[in-house]
Homo-oligomer: A and B are copies of this chain.
Amino acid sequence: MSHMGYGCLMAVDRDHVLRSAAALLTRKSTATMDEVAKGAGISRATLHRHFAGRDALVRALEALGIAECESALEAARLDDGPASDAVRRLIAATESAAGLLAFLYTENQLFEGEEQHEGWTRIDDRISALFRRGQLSGEFRIDLTPAWLTEALFGLLASGVWMVQSGKGAPKDFPRMVVDLLLGGALRHPAPPHDPAPRDPAARDSAAQDPAAQDSA
């Protein structure tokens, strides 16, 4: 135990194990410690030398997820330019960590009594602030709370991940799917440059967005 320079090597290994565990647990959240070890190409004993137990592993994964999320927040420069563009940048920056986030998102659902990690509230606050900024600037609708928009962002991220994993969607469409639905929704109210016949204002109810909708059945 004299001059071991094992610090660096351990860190690299540990990170690799962490990434591997994240990838595996994203696909199978009930994977065994043995499966995690095999997945990382190490033995269960070595896995235990890195992480005291399953709990410690999950916490490390949570810390990793928080770190990646915050680095995505930095990269997205949430305070620059239009809020909608910031949301686009945020989702794009989150893409590589989306699988891990999806795992942690569902994992958090079964923390019944425990309070959630303080890092998540910080992240939630920053994203909520972004949506609030967009509301104040008039970009975002004000009848949906920033908290709900934030929750929906994570929910749609998770849905997108699962959809890609199940093969029902292409990975390349992932960011666009999430962004387009979160920002624009399903309705086709994106402005068509040509407005054939402006209806009377009473049509603002449901399908009022686009008068081009008519007979279909």
Pick the residue among B135, B156, B191, B201 that contacts A191 (CB under 8 A): B191
What per-residue 1/0 map shows which CB atoms of A203-217 lie under 8 Å from chain B? 010111111111111
* CA gap between A177 and B152 in the complex, in Å: 9
Complex interface residues of chain A between 176 and 217 (CB less than 8 A to chain B):
177, 180-193, 195, 198-199, 201, 204, 206-217
Q: Contact at A209–B181, with CB atoms within 8 Å?
A: no
> Does A142 sit at the interface, judged by CB under 8 A?
yes
Pick the residue among B140, B177, B187, B213 that contacts A188 (CB under 8 A): B140
Stretch from A8-16, A49-57, A67-75, A80-88 that touches the partner: A80-88
* CA gap between A93 and B154 in the complex, in Å: 24
Q: Contact at B141–A152, with CB atoms within 8 Å?
A: no
| Contact flag A207-B189 (CB < 8 Å), given A143-B214, A144-B181, A156-B156 | yes
> Does A27 sit at the interface, judged by CB under 8 A?
yes
Complex interface residues of chain A between 130 and 162 (CB less than 8 A to chain B):
131, 133-145, 147-149, 151-152, 154-156, 158-160, 162
Q: Contact at A30–B110, with CB atoms within 8 Å?
A: yes
Quickly give the copy total for this chain.
2
> Does A2 sit at the interface, judged by CB under 8 A?
no
- Across the interface, which residues of B come within 8 angstroms of A82, CB to CB? 193, 206-207, 213
- Across the interface, which residues of B come within 8 angstroms of A32, CB to CB? none
- Across the interface, which residues of B come within 8 angstroms of A182, CB to CB? 181, 185-186
- Across the interface, which residues of B come within 8 angstroms of A195, CB to CB? 191
A residues with a Cβ closer than 8 A to B are 27-30, 79, 82, 84-85, 87-88, 106, 109-110, 112, 131, 133-145, 147-149, 151-152, 154-156, 158-160, 162-163, 168-169, 173, 177, 180-193, 195, 198-199, 201, 204, 206-217
